[in-house]
Amino acid sequence: GSPPGISQGNLPMSFALFLIGLALLVGGVAWGMVTAGIPPIYVGITCLIVLGIGIMAAVSRTRTKD
């Protein structure tokens, strides 16, 4: 009974770490695009796309297998 409890306890932490890394990635991409002089609308669209892909990857990676 202990190993499932341990893996269940690590699940939110790994998901949170994944989201922190994703936020850093999106921030870096946005900063680079703004520095390169790309219009803000394209920066926003790109960040939304990267954020959506990252959240889908985080959910599929950290969900429990039924």
pLDDT digits (tens, 9 = 90+) for 16-59: 888 899 999 999 999 999 999 999 999 999 999 999 999 888 88
CA dist., res. 25 & res. 19, Å (int): 10
Q: What is the pLDDT of residue 64?
A: 65
Per-residue pLDDT at 61: 77
Output 13 or 4, whichever has higher pLDDT.
13
Q: Which two tokens stand for residue 54?
A: 């990252």
Instruction: Say which residue, 15 or 47, is predicted with more confidence.
Output: 47
Nearest to 51 by CA among 41, 59, 63: 59
Q: Describe the chain by its helix, strand, coil percentages, rounded to 5.
A: 85, 0, 15
pLDDT of residue 6: 44
Read off the pTM.
0.72
The residue among 35, 30, 34 whose CA lies nearest residue 49 is 30
